[in-house]
Amino acid sequence: MSQDLYTVLGVARDADGDAIKKAYRRLARQLHPDVNPDPETQERFKEVSRAYEVLSDPQKRAAYDRGGDPFGGAGGFGGQGAGFSFTDIMDAFFGGAQGGAAAGRGPRPRTRRGQDALIRLEVDLSEAAFGATRELKVDTAVTCETCHGDGAAPGSRPVPCETCHGAGEVAHVQRSFLGEIRTLRPCAACRGFGSIIPEPCRECSGDGRVRSRRTLSIKIPAGVDTGTRVQLSEQGEVGPGGGPAGDLYVEIHVADHPTFRRHGNDLQCTVSIPMTAAALGTTLELPTLEADVVSGDGADTDLETSFDLEVRPGTQSGTEQVLRGRGVPGLRGTGRGDLVVTILVETPTRLDGRQEELLAELAALRGEEAPDGNVKATQKSVFGRLRDAFNAH
């Protein structure tokens, strides 16, 4: 334990009280047992806390600067003796030197990890498919800047609880026919913390955190779908006592698209063509989903905004054409889905005289003036099922 205390906290020798407090807060957030329970980190947390105990107290700090041993025998320091000993509390935290009959768990820490937060974000289909960066307003608890998270008004410190003497627990003795039963209960005076904040920070009422609205920039990876959660680590709620923040999860909700419907990584759209085009064949120019990206940002990209779809002569209504690789990219860069184009053939309505004449002539040429209903297998099966249903009775 001969390491220089200023080095332990990573501050300059002329650092002021505020800088020391800040440095300690930052380290405590990294090293706190709630975050890093391994023994080596806990040992370091103790060292850092001991250094803070000395350097945050002007008297102890002055004595240390004069070359005194801050952890030496009793009375080595200032002579006031009865002051609040942070080290004792720390030892109690980690079960270091805790005596007593029934070994309790010691005071509960005021500093705890914050909760995760979840917010929903609606994105366009093209943003979900190709990724995007969005600004996001988030409302979470952040560390109170007035007290740097410890909840004590500036210039004041927590003091040990007089009821439990910092243990956070009180022994409760009951007499019964079995004899004396001793149980440890959380101290009611300090609610188990072992210390009391005599002068709570006014900004946060002693909680060490305040609510704040901020704007975050979030990168949406290509290929997300409704229900995908994007994790932003340590952007959730800061914990009580300025504890480390939880994570923020952004749950994606993909808005409906006017043209494309999504099935997994495949896209589907429907186009209508006139009966004549279906019979004669044609080439259609269709928009791609990429067209949304281009019109959205106005960014100069060489994305394909449209493509040609060949409709073969004699195409039937309901025909599906599968265009490989024109769907949504996979979330982990695993290829792209397909685009399925369903073609609907429109029968002309409101024919004028000339048109009707031409169609009648065409029908005559094809011998289709009096077609007999060509019952298809699918329709037959419907009738078949009906007949079966009747016969069953």
Closest contact distance (angstroms) between CB of 293 and Zn ion is 45
- Give, as one character, the DSSP assignment of residue 211: E
β partners of residue 212? 140
Kindly write out the interface string for residues 267-296 of this chain, putting x where it contacts Zn ion by CB under 5 A and - elsewhere. ------------------------------
Rounded least distance, CB 20 to Zn ion, Å: 17
Beta carbons of 303 and 329 less than 8 angstroms apart? no
Which residue, 104 or 240, has its beta carbon nearer to Zn ion? 240
- Which residue shows structure tokens 């005071």? 107
**Least distance to Zn ion from the beta carbon of 93, Å?**
22
Closest to Zn ion by CB, 142 vs 164, is 142
Q: Which of residues 104-163 bind Zn ion (CB under 5 A)?
A: 144, 146-147
- 298-319 in b/e burial notation, b at 16+ Cβ within 10 A? eeeeeeeeeeebebeeebeeee
| H or E stretch covering 387 | helix 377-391
Total interface residues for Zn ion by CB under 5 A: 6
Which CA distances in Å does 20 have to 24, 56, 86?
A: 6, 7, 15
Q: Which is nearer to Zn ion, 203 or 338 (CB)?
A: 203
Least separation in angstroms between residue 23's CB and Zn ion is 18
70 torsion bin: left (phi>0), alpha (psi -120 to 50), beta (else): alpha
Please, how many CA atoms are within 13 Å of residue 298, restricted to the half-sphere of its CB?
0
Shortest Cβ distance from residue 203 to Zn ion (Å)? 4
Nearest approach, Cβ of 202 to Zn ion (angstroms)? 7
Nearer CB in complex with Zn ion: 186/208: 208
Of 238 and 311, the one with the shorter C-beta distance to Zn ion is 238
- 65/145 with CB nearer Zn ion: 145
Q: How many CB atoms lie within 10 A of CB 323?
A: 15
120 alpha-carbon distance from chain centroid: 10
In the complex, minimum distance from the CB of residue 148 to Zn ion, in angstroms, rounded to a whole number: 8
Query: Given the complex with Zn ion, which of 156 and 259 has the nearer CB atom?
Result: 156
**Between 147 and 273, CB nearer to Zn ion:** 147
Nearest to 262 by CA among 127, 118, 121: 127
**What is the DSSP-derived secondary structure letter of residue 333?**
S
With beta carbons less than 8 A apart as the criterion, state whether 203 and 153 touch: no
Least Å distance, CB 214 to Zn ion, is 18
Query: 3-state secondary structure string, 257-302?
Result: CCCCEEECCEEEEEEEEEHHHHHHCEEEEEECCHHHHHHHHCCCCC
Residues 166-205 touching Zn ion, rule: CB under 5 A, are 201, 203-204
For Zn ion, the binding residues (CB under 5 A) are 144, 146-147, 201, 203-204
